[in-house]
Amino acid sequence: MKKYIFLIELLFPLLLFSQNNNNQVSLIGFHPNESFIIYSNDFYGERSTPITLTISKPKELSLKYPTLFYKSDLLSIPFIVLPGENLVIKKDKNTFKPEVATDVVRNNELKFFGSLVQQLGPVYGIKAIDNIPVPYRYLTLEQKNLYQKNISSFKYLPNSLRERDSMLYAVYLERIKFLKSFCVEHHVSDFFKGYISNYFFYAYLNNSLTGLLSSSINEKIPLLLQSNLKRAVLDSKSDTLLIIDSYRNFINNYNEFLTMEATAGEASYMELLESAGAHYKNESKNYLSYIIVRNALRKNYDSTGSLLSIFFKQCTNEKYLTLIKAENQLRNLANSDNNSGEFLSQELKTKSLLDIVKSTEAKLVLVDFWASWCKPCLEEMRYSKNLQTVFRNESRIKFVYVSLDKSISVWKKTADDLRDIMNAKNTYLLLRGFDSDFAKNYTIFSIPRYMLINSKGEVVSFDAPKPDDQELQKQIYAHLNK
């Protein structure tokens, strides 16, 4: 199979899309009694806010490039949406069915993933057939505990990284075989063939690399993976592949792999940024540089000043430069744009999160974003209670619980049911929930979500570990002892 042919198939349609002035997309869920929830992983490394589609509320979006959306459920069936098209999502019996009126080719393309999932199984999420774990003996103690929790979800249990890579490659070949068969029976565009082929290829590479990166044992890269990495295009022509989320994930992990090989150990954000500048060109370099610096800012990396200095010299994409400047501002709640009164107290008074943090008089505050309807949130509450017990004699840390419920009465009732954890002083309602400026600025698109904020209003962890993860305690102690 020739990778370079697929690149040519992708390039020409991309030029057309970039010159197309009509980027508006209309999406509607066409079912009298049911809504459809979809999301995408966008070009800037974020998962989009879930979009709810109904008959009465069509959704207008602006898309510059073809974008892969996913239905939000256990199967997570993907479908490609093109700029400028009007798409209707139907349900035929139990089948999820996106359609474009009077366009046979597009409708064939839109039913591809549904057919693939029916025959080979899910392509995304915990139920995906390529969700193959790293062999047990390669895992750290914490990873082994997680492995035991999820073992029933795994279809295959490899004994080595080489066997795991062979299994992942076999899944890739099965998917390509299905694509070829589908294209014989259904008329689809050359662009679609190239997009899907590359999506599967880089999903395989990324999945296999992720196993290597997460392994606690230093082992040589499997020969099959080595040969397939040589097929991956890493020069300026790869910019055309940036529209594919599996490729974006791959170059991020491959850059980390290259950096760890060069440093013979864990890679710092500075080393990752320097590696991106050395190994990539043009937009691929810009994208990687942005992702690395954004992640460093969200983890409150100590050498942020030096990192930003290199980034602003290395990155030439104005959008990424603007996003990093905004991200840097988000690190401190005291910035006026972040300090809005969107949080409702039990006394029905609005406050800013900075006001709430300062009122605790603590050195560190753990903010827990949750909702009454969120089962994983409620399951974490017992671990949150345990965490409170661990720090019961430590006045320098406080716990704040922010609900994203739509109903004040439901929020209050659930908070009262959790009175052994919450009280009138530590529970608040985020007004407008996921639609609030705060949620959008801090990319709170799913819950539970946790943030660590110090007494100065500095966000020291944008996305802290969950209470059931020992890493959270380590982070808390580390910040308390600074």
Which 3-state string (H, E, C) describes 264-300? CCCCCHHHHHHHHHHHCCHHHHHHHHHHHHHHHHHCC
Structure tokens at 242: 């940036």
- CATH number for 336-480 (one of 3.40.50.620, 3.40.30.10, 3.90.550.10, 3.40.50.1000): it is 3.40.30.10
Of the ranges 147-151, 236-240, 425-429, the best mean pLDDT one: 425-429
In 3D, which of 90, 132, 112 has the Cα closest to residue 195?
112
Summarised one tens digit per residue, pLDDT across range 24-38 is 777 777 666 677 788
Binning pLDDT at 50, 70 and 90, where does residue 338 land? low
Across the range 56-78, mean pLDDT stands at 80
Q: Is the pLDDT of residue 344 over 80?
A: yes
- Least confident stretch, 24-38, 111-125, 342-356: 24-38
Given this model, what pLDDT does residue 427 score?
Answer: 95
**Residue ranges of domains in the chain:** 3-186, 237-330, 336-480
Least Cα distance to 57 among 77, 24, 30 occurs for 30
* Mean pLDDT value across residues 169-178: 94
The pLDDT tens digits of the residues spanning 369-415 come to: 999 999 889 999 999 999 999 999 999 999 999 999 999 999 999 99
The yes-or-no verdict on residue 326 having pLDDT over 90 is no
Highest mean pLDDT among 112-121, 127-136, 234-243: 112-121
pLDDT band (50, 70, 90) for residue 258: confident
User: Cα–Cα distances in Å, from 90 out to 94, 111, 115, 445?
Assistant: 10, 12, 15, 25
Structure confidence at residue 83 (pLDDT): 86
Of 91, 80, 266, 47, nearest in space to 188 by CA:
80
CA-closest candidate to residue 464, choices 390, 399, 420, 371: 399
pLDDT of residue 46: 66
Query: What is the tens place of the pLDDT at every residue in 145-170?
Result: 655 666 656 666 778 888 888 999 99
